[in-house]
Chains A and B, each alone.
Chain A
Amino acid sequence: MRQSWFLGFVTLALAFALPSSWAAGSAATEALAPGSSAPSLAYRLIDGKTLTPSELRGHPYVLWLMATWCSSCQGGTAVVAQHIGELRARGVYVVQVEVAHDLGYPGPPLASFQKAVGMAAAAPNWYWGQLTEAQMRQLDPHAYPDIYYLVDAQGQIVAVDGAPAATWSRIARFAGAAPTAR
């Protein structure tokens, strides 16, 4: 009887707990696989400007799709803020874009994320924008709320993952491989 309690607990704990780590480790059945070219898209930024493909060309960048109600996205934003200076030194951009309509649940505005990280949000290599539905279909067809692409200076997708706080070492390796910005 006692053994069955214990076994039941372990089984159920694993069933509930595994998805969290699995999500970060292999975040997404990949919409755009590593090795393919990142689509040339113009991103609508929350300051009213547009980030064009020509501005991204020649720069490695992290294209991070996130929902504003997502807790791992809030944690990830804090971690990006801690390292945004290092990324800038390497010429790496961060393009953080809110998924279209926040996947059906209106979360807080993206500006509140900027406010939460203070001055770091104003880093010139950190772009904040919103995806259109058409871009969403292309970049996140499975509607994952926390997924990023690492795109090299040639526009090739190097990796796809999620939860930047948990997978920062991967982003750091990617940035480390980039040449130091002049």
Chain B
Amino acid sequence: MRSVGTGNTRRFASAFTLVFTGPGAARSYATALGLGTLLTGFYLIALPAGSFGALRPGALHFLTPPLAVSAALLGYGFALTLTLNINARPGNAGAPRRSGLLGLGGLFASLLPSSLCCTPVIPLVLAAIGVSAPAIFRTSGKFQAFFAIHADAFIAGSVILVLLSVWFAAYNLTTPCAVGAAKDSPT
């Protein structure tokens, strides 16, 4: 069991060595740092936007240390996934797509609380699908409160998804071939 875990860690490390020290390392650094900084900047504003009420730099007043760390993990994590996937072998296209989708899913899930709580979006959607005004009074709060109350869980889940996407991207990069990939999966 331990040797399998050690093997996975080794493969994880060798993926990074391959991408950041091999040919094209400069491009990898540029992608990871450039995109990571851009995304982190966006999430530093987007994550506290729910408390502020708008996606504007003023939201930084509501930035807390856990949100800042989450923004960095989301931003640089997804940039890392993309960097690793760019270096994936052309013949193994399915695996990068899956890890990329996992990362994208994480990025979007983290935006749900600030987008769907305390904005007119849910009441308007309910009205648009024909829900009556009294029913909207009674129910729209349930949907919005769900996102507000579980905002921390959404963000934590998003960070986990993005970190998993990095793990899978690194793992896929060092998978010898499709047959090998089917035989050993990450533990």
Contact = CB atoms under 8 A, between A and B. Distances in A.
B111 A27 contact: no
Sorting the interface of chain B by its residue count into under 10, 10 to 19, 20 to 34 or 35 or more gives 35 or more
A71 B51 contact: yes
Interface string B7-20: 00000000000000
B53 A69 contact: no
Sorting the interface of chain A by its residue count into under 10, 10 to 19, 20 to 34 or 35 or more gives 35 or more
Chain B's interface: helix, strand, loop or mixed, by majority? Answer: helix
Most chain A beta-carbon contacts within 10 A, residue among B61, B82, B115, B148? B148
Which 5 pairs, one residue from A and one from B, show the smallest C-beta to C-beta distance? Answer: A163-B53, A103-B141, A23-B119, A72-B53, A24-B54
Contacts of B52: 72, 75, 163, 165-166
B149 to A, nearest CB: 6
Given A70-B148, A103-B141, A21 B121 contact: no
A21 B56 CA distance: 7
A20 B100 contact: no
A67 interface: yes
A52 B51 CA distance: 31
A20 B115 contact: yes
B51 A75 contact: yes
A163 B112 CA distance: 17
B70 to A, nearest CB: 15
23 contacts: A5-B100, A16-B111, A16-B112, A17-B49, A20-B49, A28-B120, A29-B124, A67-B118, A69-B141, A70-B144, A70-B148, A71-B50, A72-B53, A72-B117, A142-B124, A143-B123, A143-B141, A163-B53, A165-B51, A165-B52, A166-B53, A166-B58, A167-B54
